[in-house]
Amino acid sequence: MSQENTKIAIEMIDVERSFGRQQVLKKVNLVVREGTTTVIVGPSGQGKSVILKHMLGLMKPDSGQVMVYGQDLSRMNKRQMKEVRKDFGVLFQNVALFDSMTVFDNVALPLRERTDASEAEIRDNVEEKLRLMDLADMGGKFPAQLSGGMKKRVGLARALVMKPRIVFFDEPTTGLDVSKSNEIYRLFHKTQEKLKYSAVIVSHDVPKIFKLADYVALIHDGRILGNMSPEQFQLSDNPIIRDFVEETMGPIYSSEREERFFYEKV
Ligand SMILES: Nc1ncnc2c1ncn2[C@@H]1O[C@H](COP(=O)(O)OP(=O)(O)OP(=O)(O)O)[C@@H](O)[C@H]1O
């Protein structure tokens, strides 16, 4: 759904952030368009997770702005921030399920903590999300009884249960084998089609992750390069992007680009 004229969900403007003497973000400018998937790539330790934390309002910039639907996060008080976060879903690498709670209760938790929904409404919503994740019969299980892939799917169900407008994924397939990763990507695609959320994904899974991306942004030396379609990114003349593409993908053949549409057919 790459459309230049879609609304802007998130905009980082000249964001700078240091930790001690280490400046991790040096004027980061990045736009996330509504309903699209933006993938942030780059070598380890460059600041991808730091960018996500700024978008989530978990870190504040030293200077610059992080706008969510036109509102500056750093000007918000706690109550406003809480409201904005209702629109966020998060799936981080360590899914962090509560071991003492069933799958159902884990997925229901945000609804119980942050809404006034009745138990009947909660049941309908949670069961719908579990069905979407192919976990319809798993509500009564405990996390220890699940495989790594299933846990991620429970995490995805929980991330989606509040009907978020924006979902953040930090390395969503870490620790999974190829087929389980593909399963997560397939479910991501299916749920995004159905629920129409905007997605920001941090991933090392290049080139596979490009198949899901509308936009690919590379972080390099504290700045964002690219934020363009995967096709444009792979053909970019920028020498830094070109080096990254060659290091992570090798030579590009047109058939690989066509593979992107695989996920749209499943
Ligand atoms: N809370 C913090 N305090 C001090 N330094 C931090 C903090 N958070 C991040 N950093 C530093 O910022 C840099 C970027 O970290 P970040 O986790 O964003 O990298 P990344 O690109 O996500 O890496 P990876 O791909 O390995 O997950 C690192 O040098 C890290 O040590």
User: For 202-261, what is each residue's pLDDT tens digit?
Assistant: 998 888 899 999 999 999 999 999 999 999 999 999 999 999 999 888 755 555 545 544
Distance CA 224, CA 200 (A): 14
What is the ipTM score, two decimals?
Answer: 0.97
Helix (H) or strand (E) holding 223: strand 223-228
Q: CB-based contacts of 70: which residues, under 8 Å, 6+ apart? A: 8
Task: Determine the Cα angle at 214 with ends 212 and 218, to 5°.
Answer: 95
What tens digit of pLDDT does each residue of 140-191 get? Answer: 999 999 988 899 999 999 999 999 999 999 998 888 888 888 988 999 999 9
**CATH fold for domain 8-87+164-265:** Rossmann fold (3.40.50)
Ligand 1 neighbourhood includes 59 CB (under 6 angstroms): no
Residue with the smallest CA separation from ligand 1 atom 29 is 45
Q: Where in the chain is the domain with CATH 3.40.50.300?
A: 8-87+164-265
Ligand 1 neighbourhood includes 45 CB (under 6 angstroms): yes
Distance CA 136, CA 177 (A): 23
CA of 19 from ligand 1 middle (Å) equals: 9
With 0.90 as the threshold, say if the pTM is over it.
no
pLDDT at position 255: 53
Distance CA 249, CA 205 (A): 10
In this predicted structure, the answer to whether residue 3 has a pLDDT above a threshold of 60 is no
Ligand 1 neighbourhood includes 5 CB (under 6 angstroms): no
